């Protein structure tokens, strides 16, 4: 009989599984995170009628469905904490400074990338603020949004959110752009149509050709899950993808110190921008 509780992972199994995750997503799990792997994957093992992580690892490596299972695995282990207008100061800085600067220099086609967009709150927030500032009428602004997790991308594309996604959102913004339906809120289709979502793995060097050249990149609260070599590769991808001038916004707890010297760091008071 298969255990319906938490399935324990042995030390050697944990080493092998976290190596598989690292090779496929560049996410580095510390030894102290064994409990997280157990908690997030035990139910999946039970669904597959596996009683041990050893069986699951074999399945990941050799089964004919290993590619599909890798996607499911990464959906289970990636973190998806987000909400509308999170760390808004950086978005406001882009709206009030970066975009107007580009337009003033004659730029008419502007591309913004929300890398690791999770369930869509970040790119939708960007689109809402651009709309509030009237900037969609001053340039052709394209917003692309990617995430490795296909489940959260499906949520993003539906544009339906619960109250928890609106912490700190001014009531006027919520009322203007969302329609209440029971316990959920549906986003205005005009804002939804501003975003192009697709699956993207930041550890895949081919992602650069898929997203193309960009003017602004938001990649916030993601690099904290990568080790230094993986951070370096991702930042190199961003640098190659950005036009000149280009802007990169990271999370408040993230830095390019000892990672890259290719960007010029600028403290604008409410946060940091890295300029190319």
The verdict on residue 128 lying in a domain is: yes
Q: Which residue has the tokens 């689109």?
A: 127
Same domain, 248 and 128: yes
Same domain, 67 and 103: no
- Determine the straight-line distance between the first and last CA of the chain, rounded to whole angstroms: 58
CATH of the domain at 175: 3.40.50.150
| Cβ proximity of 80 and 149 under 8 Å | yes
- Domain edge (last residue) among 48, 77, 106: 77
pLDDT higher than threshold 90 for residue 133 = yes
Structure tokens at 240: 């190659």
Q: Mean pLDDT, to the nearest integer, of 143-148?
A: 98
The verdict on residue 253 lying in a domain is: yes
Residue 3 is predicted with a pLDDT of: 55
Q: Which residue has the tokens 């408040």?
A: 252
* Distance between CA atoms of residues 29 and 119, nearest Å: 22
Residue 205 is predicted with a pLDDT of: 86
pLDDT band at residue 105 under the 50/70/90 scheme? very high
Same domain, 127 and 258: yes
pTM of the model: 0.93
pLDDT higher than threshold 50 for residue 1 = no
Residue 5 is predicted with a pLDDT of: 84
Residue 12 is predicted with a pLDDT of: 97
User: Of the candidates 171, 92, 107, 165, which has an alpha carbon nearest to the alpha carbon of residue 141?
Assistant: 107
pLDDT tens for residues 191-250?
999 999 999 999 998 999 999 999 999 999 999 999 999 999 999 999 999 999 999 999
Residue 168 is predicted with a pLDDT of: 83
* Distance between CA atoms of residues 90 and 165, nearest Å: 18
Same domain, 129 and 94: yes
Q: Mean pLDDT, to the nearest integer, of 50-63?
A: 96
* Residue range of the domain that includes 20: 11-77
* Distance between CA atoms of residues 189 and 232, nearest Å: 37
pLDDT higher than threshold 80 for residue 4 = no
pLDDT higher than threshold 60 for residue 129 = yes
User: Of the candidates 68, 75, 77, which has an alpha carbon nearest to the alpha carbon of residue 39?
Assistant: 77
User: Of the candidates 202, 270, 267, 212, which has an alpha carbon nearest to the alpha carbon of residue 242?
Assistant: 212
Give the total number of structural domains in the chain. Answer: 2
pLDDT higher than threshold 70 for residue 127 = yes
The verdict on residue 3 lying in a domain is: no
Share above pLDDT 90 across residues of the chain, in percent, rounded to a whole number: 96
Phi then psi dihedrals of residue 263, to 5 deg: -110, 155
pLDDT band at residue 120 under the 50/70/90 scheme? very high
| Cβ proximity of 222 and 249 under 8 Å | no
CATH of the domain at 48: 1.10.155.10
* Distance between CA atoms of residues 255 and 260, nearest Å: 9
pLDDT higher than threshold 80 for residue 79 = no
User: Of the candidates 71, 66, 59, which has an alpha carbon nearest to the alpha carbon of residue 153?
Assistant: 71
pLDDT tens for residues 158-195?
999 999 999 989 999 999 999 999 999 999 999 999 99
């Amino acid at each position: 009989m298969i255990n319906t509780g938490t399935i324990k992972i042995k030390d050697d199994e944990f080493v092998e599984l976290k190596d598989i995750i690292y090779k496929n997503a560049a996410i580095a799990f510390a030894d102290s995170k064994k409990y997280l792997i157990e908690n997030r994957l035990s139910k999946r093992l039970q669904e597959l009628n596996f009683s041990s992580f050893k069986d699951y690892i074999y399945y990941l490596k050799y089964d004919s469905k290993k590619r599909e299972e890798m996607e499911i695995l990464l959906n289970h282990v990636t973190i998806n904490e987000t909400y509308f207008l999170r760390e808004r100061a950086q978005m406001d800085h882009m709206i009030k400074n970066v975009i107007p600067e580009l337009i003033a220099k004659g730029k008419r086609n502007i591309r913004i990338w929300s890398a690791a967009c999770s369930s869509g709150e970040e790119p939708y927030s960007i689109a809402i603020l651009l709309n509030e500032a009237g900037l969609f009428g001053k340039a052709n602004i394209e917003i692309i949004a990617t995430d490795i997790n296909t489940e959260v991308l499906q949520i993003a594309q539906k544009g339906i959110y619960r109250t928890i996604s609106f912490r700190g959102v001014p009531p006027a913004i919520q009322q203007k752009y969302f329609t209440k339906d029971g316990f959920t809120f549906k986003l205005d289709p005009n804002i939804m149509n501003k975003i192009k979502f697709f699956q993207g793995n930041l550890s895949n060097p081919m992602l650069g050709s898929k997203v193309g050249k960009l003017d602004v990149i938001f990649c916030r609260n993601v690099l904290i899950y990568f080790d230094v070599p993986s951070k370096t590769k991702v930042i190199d991808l961003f640098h190659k993808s950005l036009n000149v001038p280009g802007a990169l916004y990271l999370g408040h707890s993230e830095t390019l110190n000892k990672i890259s010297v290719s960007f010029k760091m600028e403290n604008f008071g409410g946060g940091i921008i890295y300029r190319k």
